[in-house]
Chains A and B, each alone.
Chain A
């Protein structure tokens, strides 16, 4: 018996390239516009604070002379457009001024906090991606079975329970009642730090995992009903081969889109998780800045968050185009 491998014909090389470049240019432009608009709103924060900017810098007990001096020092008497230009040009050089409450350059506070938040989010996200996709695939294959029903229960609870409530309950069960893991602070480096980040990371992962499992299950379920899966199985492809080359490839666009959405959604979850577990990350830094009316710090965190969201969306769209050639030739709209 001779076997011939059927190699799927690739899309002719180069055919999709010109529209791709145009699409990329359009996307970058619109990303820049979004960031510019947000930067204006963020700039306006200075003047939106109750009692005006000089009040928020000087505090409640500043005298009239002090307020005048502050207006002078922070150039608050200049026209708004000059102030905005000043803000943008220093922001481009990553200079957001000095934090009122931390008494240090804003970028220093942010990079220190990021060293806690970034590993935390990355761990939660990757764990959620791996386990969530696996759970979704298995439950789609055994749809209606006991495993599927169990997973369904988990996704409903994981996706809708308020994350700070689950965080507190988890920290009580594993930190206090069982005493397995520390629940407060970020530890003193090395293994201790990892031990401190386990519970917050798992909490983050559970919520994200639920969302990923749900989408994976729905999409993989759809793909499994398609004729080409029956055909691939009939050709005698091993189930694992079918899974990778047919099922996952055809679900890729939806999975990648959801992975991006989950990463963005983790931004709000991480604020709450850091508050519960008393971690000095970006989320608690933001809350601290808000409590202290520390406008430069709020501005910088908001702007970085916005740039992060825009970048994630851009990367998601590009990865989707790499996965699905059909998206490259059209006008570039990714249908979700």
Chain B
């Protein structure tokens, strides 16, 4: 029997906290900027995104076609650059609208409570466990509304998770002394919310923006992949993946490039969002 009193069973080692921004998060942030560069300079590279040259079909990468060509002889690199705007725009809109609406709902529910909280929480509970993509597939499929209906449906079904996270944070903050102090001073509640409460939870709001952006990329490109998103012929990464994967053996990069781009975008946005979220959590525990 050992005589020492150290407990070597199921104790956790506390992770060391490193100061500053981790390298991984920096890399992720830089990678997220790449599509923005593509949107700003749509004519990067030597190729043409839409010109069909049947004789140039399914070329492998070369100096003339950096990622080769697809089955219609269109330049894959140019299509990647061109498709960046479609990959960014939908998720950006989805994330902004989701975050804006859910912040307002969370403030009403978590700060004012009462019947409004009841209504909002019921709405959240009912829609919480519904997989957004399935609803989007069925509704877009039946109504035939295309890309923007997809964005709208996904926005509505992304709300519940976001409202739940933000509402919990608002409720937690609303009970702290600084809010009570502001109330005692007679500050109007609108002012308390925007000048005192929102700044405190703003890292969480930004984090949730990045997480919704991730889901936006994933789900919207999935819709396009299934042929329910952007119309046929558009330059869109999800669509390229669906069109080019049958010719994967001839030009691997025509499929791999949009696939890897989607993975890198989604993972990067998630890394940035997760990092912000964990920082907010850690700050809350330190207080």
* A contacts, CB < 8 Å to B: 34, 45, 48-50, 140-145, 148, 156-157, 159-166, 168-169, 172, 176, 221, 224-225, 229-230, 232-234, 237, 239, 242-243, 246-247, 260-261, 264-265, 267-268, 271-272, 275-276, 286-287, 290-291, 295, 298, 302, 305, 309, 312-313
Contacts and interface: CB of A to CB of B under 8 A. Distances in A.
A159 B263 CA distance: 10
A172 B248 contact: yes
Contacts of B129: 260-261, 264, 309, 312-313
Contact of B263 (A157, A172, A176, A290): A157
Contact of A172 (B126, B227, B252): B252
B12 A221 contact: yes
Nearest to B1: A236
A144 B16 contact: yes
B142 A160 contact: no
Nearest to A177: B252
Contact of B141 (A145, A233, A298): A298
Contacts of B266: 160-162
Nearest to B131: A268
Contacts of B227: 287, 291
B249 A176 contact: yes
A287 B137 contact: yes
Contacts of B267: 156-157, 160-161
A233 B12 CA distance: 13
A30 B14 CA distance: 44
Given A49-B142, A298-B141, A141 B255 contact: no
B95 to A, nearest CB: 14
Given A162-B262, A286-B141, 5 more contacts: A141-B12, A163-B218, A163-B222, A164-B241, A176-B249
B147 interface: no
Interface stretch (B174-182, B201-209, B268-276): B268-276
Interface size class of B (residues with CB under 8 A): 35 or more
Interface in B165-208: none
A168 B259 contact: yes
B31 to A, nearest CB: 13
B249 A287 contact: no
Contacts of B218: 160-163
A234 B7 contact: yes
Interface of B: 7-16, 126, 129-134, 137-138, 141-144, 214, 217-219, 221-222, 225-228, 238, 241, 245, 248-249, 252, 255-256, 258-260, 262-263, 266-267, 269-271, 274
Contacts of B132: 268
A290 B137 contact: yes
Contact of A168 (B133, B141, B255): B255
Given A157-B267, A160-B218, A161-B263, A290 B11 contact: no
B112 to A, nearest CB: 21
Contacts of A290: 137-138, 141-142, 228
Nearest to A312: B129
Nearest to A287: B226
A230 B249 contact: no
Nearest to A241: B9
A312 B7 CA distance: 40
Identify which of B8, B226, B255 gathers the most chain A CB atoms within 10 Å of its CB: B226
Contact of A166 (B9, B16, B263, B269): B263
A141 B10 contact: yes
A176 B248 contact: yes
A104 B263 CA distance: 40
A272 B221 CA distance: 11
Nearest to B24: A153
Nearest to A290: B141
Contacts of A230: 7, 11
Contacts of B15: 143-144, 148
Contacts of B248: 168, 172, 176
A311 to B, nearest CB: 11
Contacts of B228: 290
Contacts of B262: 161-162, 165
Contacts of B259: 165, 168-169
A217 to B, nearest CB: 11
A145 to B, nearest CB: 7
Contact of B133 (A144, A221, A268): A268
9 contacts: A49-B142, A140-B12, A160-B269, A162-B238, A162-B266, A164-B241, A165-B241, A165-B263, A298-B142
Nearest to B136: A268
A269 to B, nearest CB: 9
